[in-house]
A and B are shown apart, each in its own frame.
Chain A
Amino acid sequence: MATMITYREALNPLHAILLAFPVALFTGNVVSDWAYLATAQIQWSNFSAWLNAFGLVFGGVLLAWALVSAVLRPRGWRGGRGLHLGALVVMWVFGFLNALLHGRDAWYSVTASGMILSLITALAALAAGWTGFRGYPRKETL
Chain B
Amino acid sequence: MARHRFAALLLAGTLAACGSGKEQSQYGPDPRLPGQQASLLPDMSIAKPTGWGNALPKVPAGYTITPLATGLKIPRQMIVMPNGDVLVAEGTGASAPPLRPKDLIAGMIKARGKSDVKGGNRISLLRDADGDGRAELKTVLLSGLDAPYGLAFVNGALFVANQGELLRYPYLVGQTRITAPGTKVTDLPSQINHHWTKALAASPDGAKLYVGIGSNSNITERGMAAEVDRAMVWEIDAATGAHRPFATGLRNPTALTFQPGTGQLWTTVNERDELGPDLVPDYVTSVREGAFYGWPYSYWGQHVDPRAQPQDPKKVAAAIAPDYALGSHVAALGLAFSSPAMGPQFGDGLFVGMHGSWNRKVFSGYKVVFVRFVGGKPTGQPIDFVTGFLDGDKARGRPVGVALDPRGALLVADDLSNTVWRIAPATPLAPAAPATPPPAG
Contact = CB atoms under 8 A, between A and B. Distances in A.
B99 A108 contact: no
B100 interface: yes
Query: Which of B41, B101, B219, B308 has the most chain A CB atoms inside 10 A of its CB?
Result: B101
Given A103-B102, A108-B307, A43 B221 contact: no
B40 A42 contact: no
A99 B105 CA distance: 12
A107 B101 contact: no
Given A105-B217, A108-B38, A46 B306 contact: no
21 contacts: A41-B223, A42-B220, A42-B223, A42-B224, A45-B221, A49-B101, A50-B101, A99-B101, A100-B40, A101-B40, A102-B100, A103-B100, A103-B102, A105-B219, A105-B220, A105-B274, A106-B217, A106-B309, A107-B307, A107-B309, A108-B274
B217, B221, B296, most chain A CB atoms within 10 A: B221
Nearest to A98: B40
Interface in A77-129: 97, 99-109
B221 A42 contact: yes
Q: Is the interface of A mostly helix, strand, loop or mixed?
A: helix
A68 interface: no
A104 B38 contact: yes
Given A105-B218, A107-B308, A109-B221, A46 B99 contact: yes
A122 to B, nearest CB: 18
Interface of B: 38, 40-41, 99-102, 105, 217-224, 274, 296, 306-310
A108 B279 CA distance: 16
A24 B100 CA distance: 19
A104 B38 CA distance: 8
A11 interface: no
Contacts of B217: 105-106
Interface residues of A, number: 21
Given A43-B223, A46-B100, A49-B102, A107 B274 contact: no
Nearest to A50: B101
Nearest to B273: A105
Q: Which 8 A-B pairs have the closest CB atoms?
A: A103-B102, A105-B221, A106-B307, A42-B223, A100-B40, A40-B309, A53-B101, A107-B309
A106 B297 CA distance: 12
A40 to B, nearest CB: 4
Nearest to B101: A53
B297 to A, nearest CB: 11
Contact of A106 (B41, B102, B308): B308
Nearest to A96: B40
A97 B220 contact: no
Interface of A: 40-43, 45-46, 49-50, 53, 97, 99-109
Residue among A100, A101, A102, A104 with max Cβ neighbours from chain B (10 Å)? A104
B101 A106 contact: no
Chain B's interface: helix, strand, loop or mixed, by majority? loop
Contacts of B221: 42, 45, 105-106, 109
Contacts of A107: 306-309
B222 to A, nearest CB: 7
Contacts of A40: 309-310
Given A46-B99, A49-B100, A106 B40 contact: no
Contacts of B219: 105-106
A50 B104 CA distance: 12
A50 B224 CA distance: 20
B34 to A, nearest CB: 17
A50 B100 contact: yes
A49 B274 CA distance: 18
A108 B223 CA distance: 13
A106 B220 contact: yes
A61 to B, nearest CB: 17
Contacts of A99: 101
A106 B296 CA distance: 11
B195 to A, nearest CB: 14
Which of B105, B219, B309 has most A Cβ within 10 Å? Answer: B309
Nearest to B40: A100
A99 B40 CA distance: 9
A42 B307 CA distance: 11
A101 B40 CA distance: 5
B223 A105 contact: no
Contacts of A100: 40-41
Contacts of B101: 49-50, 53, 99, 103
A125 B136 CA distance: 68
Nearest to A41: B223
Contacts of B222: 42
Contacts of B99: 46
B115 to A, nearest CB: 26
Contacts of A49: 100-102
A109 B224 CA distance: 15
Contacts of B309: 40, 106-107
A99 B307 CA distance: 17
A73 B40 CA distance: 37
A104 B100 contact: no
Contacts of A106: 217-221, 296, 307-309
A45 B219 CA distance: 14
